[in-house]
């Protein structure tokens, strides 16, 4: 089907290959490039559509967001233009984070405003709960372990989302990661001054978030970073109860949401959620890192740095030009002077400045350099303050130097940061709800028969690890090293192995149905009896592995090549 984007069109649906709308005569190929197929949703200030980019090979899918002003008066057009430019600037500023849709294009055409974004295939949290029922305490903790580091990253880029809710969180089909969408209600920085002509009146009157999910200060046009913490807390209540804010009762005196009788979770989680949902912003958690600490799931440095791997060189150059980021970098203290006492927020700002301004943070080497820079800053601050071992909250990591040769034969030094956990440490953290173990070292551990489903092992070391019979469904092993690992009879359905090293791994009888194995090294891997139904894997990869007549091919049939 071809779909007409003219807001006044009475019959926008057209035949699949139509170029002109049969109802209103409008051109259907937007900007001679984007072929719109169907509407995805509609809100107060616009609508979203599924489209294909016909100028690129394979005509990849994308999402087109059309901002529709309520009228054509100069005031309304200016208001829409500011909202449009604000969202485009914000999406460009936060870059290509793995859990945020990429901005592909934006333009104005015939007094309509368009944003083109990466299409995220998957169900929203709202759809998941309606289809599968409420989440348990473990499920909610896993959700928080995925979303809180993302929220911390957004806030450190001085952005308040202002519309966090189940309908704006999608579990991506490809790798089961949570993706935050719809940055149309964002606010850049926290306003401390008086309202501007548009910034706090006309614009925010239309984009203050969703009632019930937005806290009182946001509804009063005074959002702060903690406003997103409140919305995330309301989302957790929805995940536990299946009830939206309008279905819940409120204390008429305090305005507090009355939810505690409806959930069956530990007292510890109740206390954390209660503080996330404080009506008074002063009593609420002030940052995502504070919530993670309270949950005993504080994100470690290298995992946070991992979020910058997908950033482009262009974004890096733009970030490096920000004078504020440069001003936040740590400075040496002249001899004889006493360094000023720093607050936890100032320390986080300094860490964020290093993350956001490092020009090489889009490479694996750059991530290690960022991590090393932050650890060095913390060590200097701790030494100046007279604290041993890097001070409270320091990150203890092991660095291994690898020597590689480039095409000219010169040596390149790469630093691989890997935090070591033993079997008990990993399982204890998992039972507490932690699911992010990127860049960790689990080599040689015995994890036979364990349940580690839905876990992020991105770029981790798992050489010769015993994972026989383990449940690793929906886990992320992207760029991980699993050489000679024992994965016999393991449940690896829907697991993500992009660029993973599985050389010599024992995968006999493993369930790899619908696993993503593109670019994985399968040289010498034993796939005898493995189930590869629907798996993303090439014939060349299979030719490098060991298979037999019991191996189930991606087409669902058994047999040799």
Q: How far apart are CA 293 and CA 553, in angstroms?
A: 45
* Residue 20 · residue 28 · CB < 8 Å: yes
Angstrom distances, CA of residue 409 to CA of 401, 404, 406, 414: 18, 9, 5, 15
Which residues contact residue 403 at a Cβ distance below 8 angstroms, ignoring those fewer than 6 apart? 411, 412, 413
Pairing between β-strand 103-109 and β-strand 122-124 as defined by DSSP bridges = unpaired
Crossing angle of helices 313-320 and 74-94, in 10° steps, is 100
Instruction: Read off the tokens for 294.
Output: 């309270």
| Identified catalytic residue from 163, 290, 351, 436 | 163
- For helices 225-241 and 267-276, give the axis angle rounded to 10 degrees: 140
Answer yes or no: are the C-beta atoms of 135 and 334 closer than 8 Å: no
What b/e string do you get for 190-214 counting C-beta neighbours within 10 Å, with b at 16 or more? ebeeeeeebbbebbbeebbbbebbb
Please, which residues have CB within 8 angstroms of residue 365's CB and are 6 or more apart in sequence? 414, 415
- Clarify whether 182 is annotated catalytic: no
Q: What angle do CA 233, 237, 241 make, to 5 degrees?
A: 170
Note whether 526 and 505 are within 8 A (CB). yes
Q: What's CA 249's distance to the chain center, in Å?
A: 32
3-state secondary structure of 240: helix
For the sheet with 398-405, list strands across it: 398-405, 411-420, 440-441
Q: Which H/E stretch holds residue 169?
A: strand 169-172
Burial code (b: 16+ CB inside 10 Å, e: under 16) for 237-268 equals bbbbbeebbeebeeeeeeeebebeeebebeee
| DSSP 8-state assignment for residue 199 | I
Antiparallel, parallel or unpaired: β 411-420 and 440-441: parallel
Question: Do 434 and 297 form a contact (C-beta atoms < 8 A)?
Answer: yes
Q: Kindly write down the DSSP assignment for every residue of 16-54, as one continuous string.
A: TT-SB-TTT--BSEETTTEEEEEEEEE-SSEEEEEEEET
Looking at residue 148, the DSSP 8-state letter turns out to be H
Burial of 402 (0-12, 13-18, 19+ CB in 10 A): exposed
Residues with active-site annotation: 163
């Amino acid at each position: 089907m071809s779909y007409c984007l003219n807001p006044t069109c009475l019959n926008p649906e057209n035949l699949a290959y139509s170029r002109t709308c049969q109802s209103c005569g409008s051109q259907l190929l937007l900007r001679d490039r984007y072929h719109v197929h169907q509407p995805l949703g509609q809100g107060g200030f616009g609508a979203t559509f599924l489209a294909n980019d016909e100028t690129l090979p394979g005509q990849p899918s994308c999402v087109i967001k059309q901002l529709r002003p309520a009228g054509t008066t100069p005031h309304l057009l200016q208001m829409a233009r500011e909202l449009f430019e604000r969202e485009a600037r914000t999406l460009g500023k936060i870059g290509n984070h793995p859990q945020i849709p990429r901005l592909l294009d934006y333009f104005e055409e015939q007094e309509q405003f368009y944003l083109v974004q990466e299409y995220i295939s998957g169900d929203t949290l709202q759809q998941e709960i309606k289809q599968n029922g409420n989440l348990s305490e473990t499920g909610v903790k896993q959700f928080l372990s995925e979303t809180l580091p993302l929220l911390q990253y957004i806030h450190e880029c001085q952005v308040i989302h202002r519309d966090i809710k189940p309908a704006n969180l999608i579990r991506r089909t490809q790798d089961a990661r949570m993706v935050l969408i719809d940055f149309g209600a964002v606010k850049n920085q926290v306003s401390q001054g008086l309202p501007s002509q548009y910034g706090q009146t006309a614009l925010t009157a239309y984009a203050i978030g969703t009632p019930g999910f937005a806290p009182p200060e946001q509804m009063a046009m005074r959002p702060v970073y903690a406003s997103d913490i409140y919305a995330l807390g309301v989302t957790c209540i929805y995940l536990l109860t299946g009830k939206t804010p309008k279905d819940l009762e409120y204390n008429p005196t305090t305005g507090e949401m009355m939810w505690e009788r409806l959930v069956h979770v530990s007292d510890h989680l109740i206390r954390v959620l209660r503080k996330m949902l404080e009506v008074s912003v002063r009593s609420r958690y002030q940052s995502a890192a504070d919530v993670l600490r309270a949950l005993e799931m504080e994100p470690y440095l290298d995992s946070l740095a991992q979020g910058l791997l997908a950033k482009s060189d262009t974004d890096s150059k733009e970030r490096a030009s920000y004078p504020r980021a440069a001003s936040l970098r740590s400075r040496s203290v002249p001899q004889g002077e006493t360094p000023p006492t720093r607050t936890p927020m100032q320390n986080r700002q300094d860490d964020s400045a290093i993350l956001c301004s490092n020009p090489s943070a889009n490479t694996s080497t750059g991530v290690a350099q960022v991590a090393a820079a932050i650890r060095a800053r913390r060590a200097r601050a701790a030494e100046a303050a007279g604290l041993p071992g890097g001070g409270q909250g320091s990150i203890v990591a092991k660095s291994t130097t690898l020597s590689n040769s480039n095409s000219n034969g010169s040596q390149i030094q790469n630093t691989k940061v890997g935090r070591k956990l033993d079997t008990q440490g990993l399982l204890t953290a998992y039972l507490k709800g932690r699911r992010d173990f990127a860049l960790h070292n689990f080599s040689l551990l015995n994890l036979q028969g364990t349940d580690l489903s839905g876990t992020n092992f991105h770029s981790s070391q798992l050489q010769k690890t015993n994972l026989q019979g383990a449940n690793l469904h929906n886990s992320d092993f992207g760029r991980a090293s699993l050489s000679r690992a024992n994965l016999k009879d393991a449940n690896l359905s829907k697991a993500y192995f992009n660029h993973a090293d599985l050389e010599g791994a024992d995968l006999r009888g493993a369930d790899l149905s619908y696993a993503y194995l593109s670019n994985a090294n399968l040289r010498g891997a034993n796939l005898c009896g493995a189930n590869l139904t629907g798996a993303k894997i090439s014939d060349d990869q299979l030719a490098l592995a060991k298979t037999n007549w019991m191996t189930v091919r991606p087409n669902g049939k058994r047999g040799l090549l």
